[in-house]
């Protein structure tokens, strides 16, 4: 294996970027095996936690571009994981609702992600994993606050 310059390996930004590559590969592989995509998980999770929503709301909550939300919702409708119907309170908007099959798929995807976390963070103790998650959340919140 090629040596990596130390000045890189001591930079958290470089380490986070390198780890993100591995995380994406693991998540992609796990979701592909489950017949799903990351956008599907985000949408199903938002619907499960917050209830029915418009596609625009889903895009904002899930940080997914509007056109990608439409494509993902179309796929989820085809698979029977969500229903989409006109919003009776707003004539030009659709409301997306989680189906029982969608809840089952979300649970399958949760299991995939749990395994990914275990694989990705294998060298860390449960306490270290909790600390890492807390610290990453704090840094992200700082950069996202107005």
Taking residues 69-83, report their average pLDDT: 96
How does strand 53-54 pair with strand 82-87? unpaired
Structure tokens belonging to residue 89: 């309170």
Q: What is the mean pLDDT of residues 112-128?
A: 96
Per-residue confidence at 1, pLDDT binned at 50, 70, 90? low
The percent of residues above 70 in pLDDT, for the chain, comes to 99
| Contacts for 33 with CB less than 8 Å, ≥ 6 apart | 112
* pTM over the 0.75 mark: yes
């Amino acid at each position: 294996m090629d040596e990596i310059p130390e000045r890189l390996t001591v930079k958290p930004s470089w380490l986070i970027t390198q780890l993100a590559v591995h995380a994406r590969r693991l998540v992609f592989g796990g979701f592909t095996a489950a017949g799903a995509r990351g956008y599907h998980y985000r949408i199903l999770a938002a619907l499960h936690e917050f209830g029915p929503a418009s596609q625009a709301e889903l895009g904002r909550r899930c940080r997914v571009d509007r056109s990608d939300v439409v494509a993902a919702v179309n796929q989820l409708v085809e698979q029977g994981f969500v229903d989409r119907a006109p919003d009776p309170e707003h004539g030009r908007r659709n409301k997306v609702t989680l189906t029982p099959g969608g809840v089952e798929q979300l649970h399958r995807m949760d299991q995939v992600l749990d395994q990914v976390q275990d694989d990705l963070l294998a060298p860390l103790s449960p306490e270290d994993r909790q600390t890492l998650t807390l610290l990453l959340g704090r840094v992200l919140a700082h950069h996202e606050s107005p």
